[in-house]
């Protein structure tokens, strides 16, 4: 059983599942017009796939350059995912915006009731 866990071919199968997941989710998004935003979703999957590729390289005895490059790709994809998820800073509160717009538009004077309209006291 331990030989199966350290077999690089297992990582190949997992990478194939990650690719199928990407195709499936993006296909369903096109079909149903809803789902996760594609850019963030793909950055997240790319980061995970690059980590799996680094693991595969380590298990197969690849050079340190290949492992380091795949870890660098994982890091960059992770940073891109964070940048897409990061919420912008709010510079002004909602209350300030309402107050500023209320001050810009003075209130209209109440209109007098017209003939035929009912005014309840």
- In this prediction the pTM is 0.67
Distance CA 38, CA 44 (A): 10
Cα-Cα-Cα-Cα torsion 34, 37, 42, 48, nearest 10 degrees, comes to -90
Contact 12, 52 (CB under 8 A): no
Q: What is the pLDDT of residues 41-87, one digit of tens each?
A: 999 999 999 999 999 999 998 999 999 999 999 999 999 999 998 88
Note the maximum CA span of the chain. Answer: 93
């Amino acid at each position: 059983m331990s030989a199966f866990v350290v077999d690089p071919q297992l990582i190949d199968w997992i990478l194939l599942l990650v690719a199928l997941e990407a195709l499936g989710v993006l296909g369903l998004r096109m079909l149903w017009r809803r789902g996760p935003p594609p850019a963030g979703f793909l950055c997240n999957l790319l980061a995970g796939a690059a980590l799996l590729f680094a693991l595969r390289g380590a298990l197969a005895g690849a050079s340190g350059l290949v492992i380091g490059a795949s870890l660098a790709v994982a890091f960059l994809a992770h940073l891109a995912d964070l940048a897409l998820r990061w919420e912008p800073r709010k510079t002004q509160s909602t209350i300030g915006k309402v107050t500023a717009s209320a001050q810009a538009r003075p209130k209209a004077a109440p209109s007098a009731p017209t003939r035929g309209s009912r005014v309840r006291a």
